[in-house]
């Protein structure tokens, strides 16, 4: 007979990462026609929007772009989770 394991379910909360220094999001755009890419930019999509417009201005047939956005999340114990009080309760979110 194999050993049995019991896994107790606990609730978690998924939230945006708000740690000091963590970007809200990182943006990059790629030209679908030629593969040229903008720089990666923290928090503000406007520079990659401008890059796409300027790229089309220089390459009139390059009009499709792929936007990649990295958004950072963090998982916290929810109320009732055994770690909730140990990690500061509501102050963790």
Structurally, how many domains does the chain consist of?
Answer: 1
- What is the residue range of 83's domain? 12-92
Residue 2 backbone zone (phi > 0: left; psi -120 to 50: alpha; other: beta): beta
Over residues 48-64, the pLDDT tens digits come to 999 999 999 999 999 99
* H helix and E strand count, the chain: 1, 5
Is 23 domain-assigned? Answer: yes
Report the pLDDT value the prediction gives residue 6, as an integer from 0 to 100. Answer: 44
Give this prediction's pTM.
0.70
Is 6 domain-assigned? Answer: no
Is 61 domain-assigned? Answer: yes
Is 1 domain-assigned? Answer: no
Least confident of 14-18, 24-28, 37-41: 14-18
Percentage of the chain lying above the pLDDT 90 cut: 60
Is 50 domain-assigned? Answer: yes
């Amino acid at each position: 007979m194999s050993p049995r394991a019991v896994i107790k379910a606990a609730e978690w909360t998924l939230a945006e990462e708000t740690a000091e220094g963590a970007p809200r999001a990182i943006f990059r755009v790629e030209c679908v026609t030629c593969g040229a890419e903008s720089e990666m930019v923290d928090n503000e999509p406007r520079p990659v929007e401008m890059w796409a417009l300027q790229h089309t201005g220089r390459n009139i047939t390059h009009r499709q772009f792929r936007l990649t956005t990295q958004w950072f999340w963090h998982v916290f114990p929810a109320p009732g989770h055994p770690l909730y009080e140990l990690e500061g309760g509501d102050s963790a979110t």
